[in-house]
Structure formats: C-alpha cells, structure tokens
Structure 1
Amino acid sequence: MLITDDFLPVPVPETLSATYLVPTSATPETSPAAAVDALAGRLAGPVHDLARQMLDSPLMTVDTRPVSEFPRLPPELLTAFGATDEQLARLAAATHLVVVQATYRPGWPPAHEWAARTVAAAMAEVVGGDLVDVFGLQFLDPASALRSLPDADGRMRLVDWVLVPYSSDEDGLWFTTKGLRRFGLLELQAQGVPAHLTRAWGAVMTGAARRLLRAWVDGLTDEEVPAFVQLPVLTAVTGHDIAVAYGNSERHDATAPALLRLELDPATDPEADSFLSLRPPSEHDGPVDRYFAGVCEIVFASAKSDVRYARPGDAMARAIATARDGLPEIRNRFLTGALPEDAQLVVKYGLPTDDGPEFVWAGVTSWSSPERILGASASDAASDPSVRIGCPVVIDASDVVDWAVLDGGGVMEGGWTQAVLDSGEHQ
C-alpha cells in the first residue's frame, strides 16, 4: 500500500457484528422465518432475500432469553437517544428478550445490519412492541425500522443509521458520530464548534460521514479484506452530501465544497474508542471556531425561505386548530404505516424571530415521542442559517401549526393553513 501525505491509512476490522433486542413478556409463538416471510411485499426484494439467507446461515442467531441473562440497558442513555417513558416502561416490564445477532465482513452491503434489523423489526411486530438497536442504544418502532432499510437500488438514508450527539466543554461543543463503526469505519469527532452552530454543524458532520463512508466502501471492493483503507486527508463536503444523507437524493445543491482535514486520534485507553477528527486545513492559522462557521456558510449557501406569514386572523386560527386536533391521529397513521404508499408526511412549525414566528415545513422522519418530531427541513429559513433543505430538525409538537400528506401530485390531505393563505382570508 502506497503511503503519502495526501491519504490517511485507517485500520479495517476483520468482522462486524450487529445486535438488536425485542423486549417481550411472553415467548413468541411465531418463528423468525415466518415473521420475515410476513414482510413480503413491504420490503425491497433484495433486503427481504438477504434476511432470509442470513437466517438460514450460521452468520445469524435469534434466541429468546430471560431478561436476567442480559446486561441491563442504561435507561438514562436510552432516554438521551430518544426513548419515551412508555418504551422504558415496556422494557422494565419485559420478562424476556428476543436477541437477534449477525456478523459479516466489512464491505458493502452491510448485510449484518440490514438483515438483523429486518428480523428484529419482524419479531417486534409479532409481539406488538419495539426493538432496541444495541449499537445506537436507541428504541425503534417496527414501522420506522422497516422504513430505514434500503430500497431496491440499495439506497438508504444515512441519518437512520448514524447519529450525531454533542456535548459542551470549555472550548465550545464537542460533536461525534455514533454509527459509522457499524460499517467498520472509525467514528468522527469535531471539537471547538460554536454553540450557535449546533444544528448546522450536526448536518455538516452527517454530510462528512456520507462522503467518507463512500470512500471507505470504495476501498473495500476486493475479495480479501485489506488491513487498511486510505482515506483522503482533505475531505470536501457539499450541500449535496448533506441532502443525500438525509434522503433528498433528487436535490443537487449548487454549493461550493468546504474542506476539512482528517486526522487520526487513537485512543490511549484500550477500552476507549479511537476517532477520526475533523479539523481546519493545515494552512488555516485562525481560530478553529471561525473556520467551522465558514464551513457552515459555504454548505448552506442557498435560496431564502418564502414561507413567512403575518400574525394569524380568525380564519388562520381555525385552520391551525383543525390541524392540531388531527395531530394524534396522523401520528398514529405514520407510526403504523397506514399512510398511502409512497406518500410523505410533512409538518409546518414556527421559528421564533423578533417580528413574530417564521413558519417552515419539514418532512417527518421519526415521531416515536408524541412531544418531539424528528425531520428533514423542506424549506430554507430566512431567520436561521442552519435550517436548510435536507438538514435535520428537531421539532416540538407544540410548535406545529399544520401538517399535510403529500404524493407526487401535491397535497392529498391536510394543508389547512396553506388553503387559508391561498384564499386571502388570513388578514
């Protein structure tokens, strides 16, 4: 392997593994194979076939064990990654765990993850519960887990597999990824990020993860698993990388690339994780936080929002009330997969400004907690440079003023506030 200053050799693990748990209070009467068979037609054919093949091989095991035989899952970490009180209560009441484990070699496809998540989601449907992604310490309802799996062309949303948690320290915010190790790659980190860039930098980290994962997979195409894969020291991130990572593959943001330098930070503790750190290029001699702010300006340079409304009148107030009354039902339909095929659920919510709220739309990606919605922004905000099309947003349900179900032809259902705006009755 040729070693140069332009590339960073990153070690490749020999094997990868995935573990999913399904809490239950009774031993499932349906076999894993029968549960997966019941998903026929609801999954892309290649993924369904992959799950069946893994089930029939020694690469996957599915066991039902008493809870006492498995280490206790930390509720505080589960909560930090989105667990609801109801999910934690069901876990606490469970007497058994269906344990789904799979192993595979590094490369593409990540058969261990796709197959294990498929089988766990199928078993969760059988017992009427949720599944726990042990790697991410994250609860998933079966419908969300199945939606995260790739389509017939192998495309998936990286945000369904890689989280970007952050914490604060004396130098600013410390961001990491949690999910790249599913694919054998070291996790990313960035330190010294300004606090006002919280949402924007989370999207940049996700876009960088998408770019580096592609380079990683390209280095694993040989039949023999290499000892190292060379990743470019200077990585370019664009708005398109971010949009694709959030599932907006049709959007091609015409933003200039922003450069980030990759540096290996090996762990000194054998029990700790090593990281790939994102830093400014070597020639940058200014503050790190200023460079990171410049990166965000580059990748989010796009059109301004045109979704800005005045204080609502009576007609608008009635429209908002109608939409909010329908939130519990539309959430239930979203979670149970009862929306029309190929339809998308979007919500409108308000961003605070000095002149009153600016209302923007977002496509719903997860709604496990009634109070919190995870989504991808469907419009660019004028008031917040971090809210750009394709970027992740976390929405308080109390801020939602409208929702709509969309298909290729437009609004199928909902959109009451937009109807009022179109009619001119909102003054």
Structure 2
Amino acid sequence: MLITDDFLPVPVPESLTATYLVPMVGLPRVGTKSAVAAVADRLAEPVRGLAQQMLDGPLMSVETRSIAEFPQLPPDLLSAFGATEAQLARLAEASHLVVVQAQYRPGWPPAHEWAARAVAAAIAESVDGDVVDVFGLQFLDPATALRSLPDEQGRVRLVDWVLVPYSSDAEGLWFTTKGLRRFGLLELQTQGVPDHLTRAWGAVMTGAARRLLRDWTEGLAGAEVPAFVQLPVLATVTGHDIAVAYGNPEQHGATAPVLLRLELDPATDPEADSFLSLRPPPGHSGPDGRYFAAACATLFAGIQPDVRYTRPGDAMTKAIATARAGLADARARFLAGDLPAETQLVVKYGLPGDEGPEFVWAGVTSWDSPERIVGASASDAHSDPGVRIGATVVVAADDVVDWAVLGATGVLEGGWTQAVLDSGDRPTP
C-alpha cells in the first residue's frame, strides 16, 4: 500500500454486525417470515431480496429471549437520543425481546443494516411495538424504520443512519458522529466549535460524513476487502453534500466547497473509540473556531454578508418593509422555541461606513428585550474592525432590515432583501 502525505490509511474491519431489538409483552404473534411478507410491498429492492435471503441463510439470526437475560438499556441515553415517555414505558413493561442480528462485509450496500432493520420493523409492526437500534441507542417506530430504508432508486437519507451529538467544554463545542461505524468507517469529531454554530456545524458534519462515506465505499468496491482504505487528507464539503445527506438534493445551492483536514486520533484506551478529526486546512492562522465559522458562512451562502446599497429601489424598499412587518412574530417564535428543528434565526442590520451603510448578518443567540438583539456575527465587517466572524454583537431592532430562518440547505424562510439582490434587481446608486 502506498502511503503519502495526501492520503490517510484507515483500517477496515473484517466484518460488521447490526443488532436491533423489538421489546414485547409475551411471545411474537406471527412468524418472522410472515411478518416480513406483510410489509414486502413497502420494501424496495434490493432490501426486500436481501432481507429474504439473509433470513434463509447463516448471516442473520432472529431469536426471542426473556428480557431478564439482557442488561438494562440505559433510559437516560435513550431519552437523550429521542425516546418518548410512551416508548420507555413500553420497554419497562416488556417481558421479552426479539433480537435481530445480521453480519456482512464492509462496503456498499450495507446489507447487514438494511436487512436487519427491515426485519425488525416488520416484527415490531406485527405486535404494534417499537424497534430499538442498539448501535444508535435509538427508538424507531416501525413506519419510521421502514421509511429510512432505500427507495426504488436506492437513495437513503444519511441523517436516518448517522447522528451528530455534541457537548460543551472550555474550548467550545465538541461534535462527534454516531453511525459511521455501521459502515466500518471511524466516527468523525470536531473540537473547539463556537457555541453559535450548533445547528450549522451539525449540518457540516453530516455533509462531511456523506462525502467521506462515499470515498470509503469506493475504496471497498473490489472483490476482496482491503486491510486499509486511503482517505484524502484534505476533504472537500459542499452544500450539495449537506443537501443530499438530508434527503433534499434538489434544494442545494451552488456553494463554493470548503476544505477540512482529516487527522487520525487513535484512542489510548483499548475500550475507547478512535476518531477521524476534522481540522482547518494547512495555512490557516488563528483559532480553529474562526475557520469553522467562515466555512459555515461559505456553505450557507444563501445569506450573503457585506451587502451595500445607498439608495433603495422599489423592490428593496418593499423587501425591507416585509421583513420588518414580520420581525415581532419571528421574535415570538424564537422565544417560544417554535422555529423548525435544526434551524437558526439570523438578522441583517446596517453598520455606518464611508461609502454608505454596510449590511451584515448575525445569528440570534438571545432576544430578551424587543428593542435589543444579542447575536454572533456571521461575517467580518469592512467598516467595523470589532465585528468579526463569531464575535458577539448587540443589534438594535430598529436597525434590522431583514431576517431569515436558516436550515441545513440554506434559507427556509425570510431573506427578502437577499432575494432582491440575487434576482439582479439591484438599486441604482
């Protein structure tokens, strides 16, 4: 194997195992094959064929055991990964677990995961129960589990298979992925992410996971499983990667790619996990968090910073009026937590400059007073050296000329002034 500074050799496991549980009171009411047949019309190929073949072969086992034979599943972690009170209550009442396990070689398709999840979902549906994904410590209702499987074109949403949890420490946020090991790849991590990038960097991590998983499976495409796959040390991530990972390829914008450097972070404890760390590329000076903020500004380019105009035209005047009319409602939804999940509220405001006002965006972090918004700058301002990416800014609500709700694929709501600028209807100076 050729080792160069451009590639990072990542070890490949010999085989992979998927494990799913179906808690229930009593024993299953129907046989496994009958349960799978009942949902066969909702399974696209190749999943339908894989599930049936693995059930008939040695690569899958389905066993019903007393729940007393198993260690207790941690309810606090299950709750942290989305378990409802009703799901936890059904688990507590269960007397038995149906254990579905499948093994397969690393590569694409991940037959072990697809087949095991399909069979577990079929069994759970036959008893009006739940599926527990042991790898992700997640509850899945049968319908959600079935929807997460490939469609007729073989497409899946990576967010249904890879989670991005995070925690806070003295240096900022620590992000990891949880799910790439399903495919044999090491999990990703990023440390020192600024607090205001919680949602945005989670999306970037998901996009990076999609790009690296594609490189990984291409390296496993041969007839023999290699001992190592060489991943590029400099990985590129685009808005398209993020959009595809979230299942919205038609919504991606034409964003410039960002570079992330891949580093192997081996575990010193044999029981702990090793990671692939995402870092700024060589040549970046300053804290890592500054680069991460700039990367987010590039990837979510539907919000353009540093927009200047001096004499608004009719279209721009109308756009500003529309934005201001909805500002109070945007604040109310922000405070009530009613904005869509995994989104960020941003506002656009003016800074005085020698050539006229400079308009920049900031992510809203708090808005206790109607007149005063506290946020984190989404860009470096030319006219004010104190306004830098990630810096805390205080914005008077009267200075706001636009607002928007940003999701993983760009602007979901608002951004009226940007729409005018993007349309080419720019005001005449």
**Offset of residue 252 of structure 1:** 3.7
Deviation at 1:392, TM superposition (A): 12
Q: Distance in 1 between matches of 2:327 and 2:105?
A: 57
Aligned to 2:397: none
C-alpha separation between the residues in 1 aligned to 2:251 and 2:213? 20
* Conservation of the 8 A alpha-carbon contact between 1:27 and 1:96: yes
Q: Structure 1 CA distance, aligned partners of 2:227 and 2:410?
A: 35
The SS at the match of 2:251 is: coil
Report 1:271-420 matches (<5 A): 271-302=271-302, 310=325, 383=403, 387-388=406-407, 390=409
The equivalent residue for 1:30 is: 30
1:14 maps to 14
Asked whether the equivalents of residues 200 and 408 of structure 2 are also in contact (C-alpha less than 8 Å), the reply is no
1:14–1:105 Cα contact (<8 Å) kept: yes
8 A contact 1:266–1:275 mirrored in 2: yes
- Per the TM alignment, residue 391 of structure 1 is displaced from its structure 2 partner at its CA by 6.8
Q: What does the per-residue CA deviation read over 1:290-317, in whole Å, with 9 as the maximum and x for residues that have no partner?
A: 011011011000158999584699xx9x
* CA distance in 2: counterparts of 1:140 and 1:18, whole angstroms: 15
Deviation for aligned residue 1:355: 6.7
- Over 3 Å counting, the alpha-carbon distance change for 1:201 and 1:312 in structure 2 is closer
Q: Deviations over 1:13-67 (max 9, x none)?
A: 0000000000000101211111111112212132111111111111000011000
Q: Distance in 1 between matches of 2:324 and 2:133?
A: 41
Q: Is the 8 A contact 1:165 1:176 kept in 2?
A: yes
Q: How far apart are the structure 2 equivalents of 1:70 and 1:238?
A: 43
Matched residues in 1 for 2:191 and 2:98: separation?
Answer: 38
Question: Within 2, Cα distance between the matches of 1:152 and 1:115?
Answer: 15
Contact 2:300 2:409 in 1 (8 A): no
2:150 aligns to what? 150
1:250 counterpart SS class:
helix
Q: TM-score, normalised by structure 1?
A: 0.74
How far residue 153 of structure 1 moved from its aligned partner, in angstroms, is: 2.0
* CA-CA distance at 1:260 after TM superposition: 0.4
Displacement of 1:390: 3.2
Alignment correspondent of 1:78? 78
In structure 2, the partner of 1:124 is 124
Q: CA RMSD in A?
A: 2.8
- Give the Cα separation in 2 of the matches to 1:16 and 1:37: 26
Q: Deviation per CA, 1:132-159, whole angstroms, max 9, x where unpaired?
A: 0000000000111011001122110000
Equivalent-residue separation in structure 2 for 1:41 and 1:85 (angstroms): 31
- Aligned partner of 1:43 in structure 2 is 43
Alpha-carbon spacing, 1:392–1:67, altered in 2? closer, same or farther (3 Å): farther
Superposition deviation, residue 383 in structure 1:
3.8
Structure 2: distance between partners of 1:132 and 1:249? 29
5+ residue gaps, structure 2: 305-318, 334-339, 346-363, 372-401, 413-429
Cα pair 1:157 1:245 within 8 Å, conserved = yes
SS of equivalent residue, structure 2 residue 409: coil
- 1:234·1:261 contact (CA, 8 Å) conserved in 2? yes
Provide closer, same or farther for how the CA distance between residues 89 and 308 of structure 1 changes in structure 2, counting only shifts above 3 A.
farther
1:116-265 pair list within 5 angstroms:
116-265=116-265
Q: Which letter does structure 2 place at the counterpart of 1:198?
A: T
CA contact (8 A) 2:186 2:274 kept: yes
Residue equivalent to 2:58: 58
The one-letter code sitting in structure 2 at the alignment partner of 1:180 is: L
What number of residue pairs does the alignment pair up?
338
Cα gap change, 1:308 to 1:92, in 2 (>3 Å): farther
SS state at 1:247 partner:
coil
Taking a change above 3 Å as real, the CA distance of residues 296 and 311 of structure 1, as seen in their structure-2 partners, is closer
Paired letter, 2:287: P
Match of 2:391 in 1: none
More displaced 10-residue stretch of structure 1: 245-254 or 263-272: 245-254
Q: Which has the larger radius of gyration?
A: 2
Q: Deviations over 1:307-361 (max 9, x none)?
A: 9584699xx9xxx9xxxxxxxxxxxxxxxxxxxxxxxxx99x99586779xxxxx
Distance 1:309 1:97, change over 3 A: farther
Q: How many angstroms apart in 2 are the aligned matches of 1:123 and 1:172?
A: 43
Q: 1:391 to 1:120 in 2, by over 3 A?
A: farther
**Does structure 2 conserve the Cα–Cα contact (< 8 Å) formed by 1:242 and 1:391?**
no
- Identity percentage of aligned residues: 70
* Distance of 2:253 and 2:158 partners within structure 1: 18
Aligned partners of 1:136, 1:350: CA distance in 2, in Å? 26
Instruction: Describe the SS at the equivalent of 1:236.
Output: strand
| Match in the other structure for 1:94 | 94
Query: What is the one-letter code of the residue matched to 1:260?
Result: L
Letter of the structure 2 residue corresponding to residue 388 of structure 1:
G
Say which SS state the counterpart of residue 41 (structure 1) adopts: helix
